[in-house]
């Protein structure tokens, strides 16, 4: 059960990359959050036919339709502070499922998100609900339903049917949680691409934070179906079963539950 609780707590942070930045750094071809000599070298390698892991669209820094040494020179000028042009440009995202499907719901501040993952070989379904600054994450493992609640900055562990059906318990949880779902204005758009996952054709939109955290949103026929977040070398993947505005307010109540916080 502790493993499931850990996964539930991790979910609080998995879905915290909802805001899309509208600008990017000129010449940041490797999308590491800075424009420097490394970007210039990558552009030069690409221009002579050597393999270079870059965003080719961003490599045409001077927008002349070609990627060559002239672009590398501009990048070097930017890196030493002698470039006189704009250092940020608007990202052109002609179509963004995330912007159209996910962001309006997340930014509403009151929503329900149901996801699925695998823990120790078993499928676990979790329902995440955000109501302003209050958070509820509920999952059922081995027949036992568990909730993690944050109410007015206080955290509780709830087992709603612990004593008998309809008679549950709760206890204060030591770890303080400050919900930040939807609050990541530094996330910048990297790319969109068609991918195949488990035999299904999906559209993957990639976003990145300055700390290197990468979030990949997967869509099928305009529906959000999966989210993958890579942070500090570890990747967490969740299947998205449902996302909608609104919450079940009864899930945020401790009324009728027995407080066992002080019991040994």
- Digit-by-digit pLDDT tens for the chain (264 residues) are 555 555 555 555 444 444 444 456 788 888 777 889 999 999 999 888 888 888 777 788 888 888 899 999 999 998 888 888 777 666 555 557 888 888 888 888 899 999 998 766 778 888 999 998 898 999 887 778 899 999 988 899 999 988 777 789 999 876 655 555 444 445 778 888 999 999 999 999 998 887 788 889 999 999 999 998 888 888 888 899 999 999 999 999 999 899 998 765
pLDDT at 114: 93
Q: What's this model's pTM, rounded to 2 decimal places?
A: 0.66
Quote the pLDDT of residue 49: 87
Residue 138 and residue 251 in contact, taking contact as beta carbons nearer than 8 Å: yes
Total residue count of the chain as it appears in this document: 264
3-state SS, residue 27 = coil
- pLDDT value at residue 20: 45
Cα dihedral 161, 163, 165, 171 sign: negative
**Sign of the C-alpha dihedral computed for residues 82, 86, 88 and 91 taken in this order:** negative
* Domains of the chain and any CATH numbers: 2-20+96-252 (2.50.20), 24-90 (1.10.1330.10)
């Amino acid at each position: 059960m502790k493993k499931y609780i850990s996964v539930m707590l991790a979910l609080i942070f998995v879905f915290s990359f909802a805001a899309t930045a509208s600008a990017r750094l000129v010449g940041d071809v490797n999308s590491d959050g800075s424009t420097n000599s490394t970007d210039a070298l990558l552009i030069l390698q690409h221009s002579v036919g050597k393999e270079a892991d870059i965003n080719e669209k961003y490599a045409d820094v001077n927008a002349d339709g070609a990627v060559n040494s002239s672009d590398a020179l501009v990048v070097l000028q930017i890196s030493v502070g002698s470039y006189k042009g704009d250092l940020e440009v608007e990202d052109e995202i002609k179509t963004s499922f995330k912007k159209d499907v996910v962001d309006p719901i997340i930014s509403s501040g009151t929503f329900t998100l149901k996801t699925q993952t695998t823990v120790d070989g078993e499928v676990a379904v979790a329902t995440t609900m955000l109501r302003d600054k209050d958070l509820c994450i509920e999952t059922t493992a081995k027949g036992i339903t568990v909730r993690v609640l944050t109410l007015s900055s206080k955290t509780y562990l709830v087992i709603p049917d612990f004593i008998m059906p309809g008679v549950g318990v709760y206890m204060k949880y030591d770890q303080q949680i400050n919900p930040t779902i939807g609050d990541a204005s530094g996330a910048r758009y990297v790319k969109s691409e068609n991918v195949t996952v488990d035999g299904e054709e999906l559209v993957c939109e990639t976003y990145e934070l300055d700390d290197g955290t990468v979030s990949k949103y997967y869509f099928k026929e305009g529906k959000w179906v999966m989210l993958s977040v890579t942070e500090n070398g570890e990747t967490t993947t969740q299947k998205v079963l449902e996302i909608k505005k609104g919450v079940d307010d009864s899930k945020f109540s401790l009324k009728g539950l027995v407080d066992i916080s002080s019991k040994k």
